Amino acid sequence: MSLIFDLDGTLLDTLDDLWASVNHALAQFSMPMRSPCEIRQFLGNGAQVLIHQSLPTDTPTELEEQVFAAFRQHYLKHNQDRTRPYPGIIEMLRQCKERGYRTAIVSNKPDAAVQQLHQRFFADTIDLAIGQQANIRRKPAPDMVLLAMERLQTTNAPTIYIGDSEVDIATARNAGLPCICVDWGFRDRHFLEEQGATRIIHLPNELFTE
């Protein structure tokens, strides 16, 4: 059995650090600030989409690229200031390891940040992590998930994808995998149900119940 996890909103509460880095970048260019609620809604499709949605609609492409660069520089230095695993996550991952499950993180966050967070929080409990890279399509394309399965050597083994958003539901569908959604992340249960979620859990240890 292998389990492939989304990162932001599934394993880690990253909202405060993302919000701080977005507003830091916006402030550098005298752009309007964004609220945590707005940032929460913009998450799921990667950092470039996050910045695009955080900017005014008429922002020139060159300026958007500069804001993104400022965000990325700040976030790589500050992505662990307030970020923490959700309650019960570490215990759940230890159970996965005890059961012999193979595990991976697949995230639309830039790969450098994904590797930092993997090493900081999950080096002993999750086998590998894959973030957004130039040579691979981001979720909801299945590419990163299929690569994780290949590296885990579980291509032919039962695999479940776990996430917290509509992007994750679509990713699992595109990869041909069952999906378990969590309701403690960036989307609520009602929204997930509207997006077609068939199984939603409220606590991490519910992962082991049918």
Q: Which residues are catalytic?
A: 6
d(C-alpha 187, C-alpha 189), whole Å: 7
The burial of 167, by beta-carbon neighbours within 10 Å (0-12 exposed, 13-18 middle, 19 or more buried), is given as buried
Structure tokens at 85: 């695993």
- Other beta carbons within 10 angstroms of residue 27's beta carbon come to 12
Is residue 66 within 8 Å of residue 29, measured between CB atoms? yes
Tokens 């981001």 found at? 138
What sign results for the dihedral spanned by CA atoms 13, 16, 18, 19?
positive
d(C-alpha 94, C-alpha 116), whole Å: 20
Beta strands in 133-208 (DSSP E): 159-163, 179-182, 200-201
Start-to-end CA distance of the chain, whole Å, equals: 15
Instruction: Give how far Cα 181 sits from Cα of 122, 160, 204, Å.
Output: 20, 11, 11
d(C-alpha 43, C-alpha 128), whole Å: 22
